Amino acid sequence: MKPWETLDTATAPDGEALDLRRRGHEFLIRAGGYDLMSSEDDGSSKALSSLGIGALGRPAKHVLVGGLGMGFTLREALDRVGPEATVEVAELVEAVVRWNEGPLADVAGRPLEDPRARVFQGDVGGRIRHPPQPFDAILLDVDNGPDALAHDSNKSIYSAGGLDAAYGALAPGGVLGVWSFSDDRKFTSRCNRAGFTTQVEKVPASRKGRGRFHYIWIAKRR
């Protein structure tokens, strides 16, 4: 088996080290010495967009994606909206944007080059608290989800206050979609208390439909 090659390193605003690695056709992003995401595990990232936008029951005009990652959630969101829609992706780490413009560009089909895509360089939590307009869908693929955080600074996004802010940033009937490495019943309860109608979907992590599973919350504003 080929060894992993480190293509680039970066530091997140909280001081956590990030590495971009490649082995053959597979890419890997590591955070703090732990695997954060692989280009082989695009299934659940795409499902976040397909399930979230699909639950709207109407065309989406304004979508916010929290976390660029390897571009899979953004790409699927763009494929699910019309030609006049905009999909904004909020990414805190400048290097991740640079990687998606460079070595990762073809992994998800160059979504940043789509004229409907917008990049907000900054904290998605701040964007949710001060939205430029109501969003039809907010799709959060931030860290490892509510219960398996690699960055403590992301806790506020999944807190009661963070959910209240997301509720207020959504248009009536809008959808909050949340990706997670693991299930978390406490988070489901927080979503319901914030006023959402919530369901949890267990989806295959891999495009091959086997192996590990991830979890996606679909929380609809009443």
β partners of residue 106: none
Q: What φ, ψ does residue 160 adopt, rounded to 5°?
A: -60, -40
Note the pTM of the prediction, 2 decimals.
0.93
Q: What is the pLDDT of residue 144?
A: 66
β partners of residue 30: 19, 35
From residue 36, give the alpha-carbon distance in Å to each of 106, 107, 155, 211. 19, 16, 17, 17
Bigger pLDDT: 15 or 116?
Answer: 116
Confidence of residue 9 (pLDDT cuts 50, 70, 90): very high
The amino acid occupying position 155 is K
Tokens for 82?
A: 């019309």
Q: What is the pLDDT of residue 31?
A: 87
Tokens for 43?
A: 């299934």
Counting Cα atoms < 13 Å in the Cβ hemisphere of 218 gives 17
154 pLDDT above the threshold of 90: no
Answer yes or no: are the C-beta atoms of 92 and 142 closer than 8 Å: no
Average pLDDT for the chain: 92
Q: What φ, ψ does residue 69 adopt, rounded to 5°?
A: 55, -125
From residue 109, give the alpha-carbon distance in Å to each of 61, 131, 206. 21, 28, 17
Alpha helices in 21-71 (DSSP H): 43-54
Q: Which of left, alpha, beta for 56 (phi over 0: left; psi -120 to 50: alpha)?
A: alpha
From residue 208, give the alpha-carbon distance in Å to each of 24, 40, 43, 53, 204. 18, 9, 8, 22, 8
Domains of the chain: 40-221 (3.40.50.150)
**Residues 70-79 pLDDT 10s:** 999 999 999 9
Q: What is the mean pLDDT of residues 30-55?
A: 92
The amino acid occupying position 5 is E
**Residues 166-204 pLDDT 10s:** 999 999 999 999 999 889 999 999 999 999 999 999 999
Query: How many C-beta atoms surround the C-beta of residue 124 within 10 A?
Result: 26
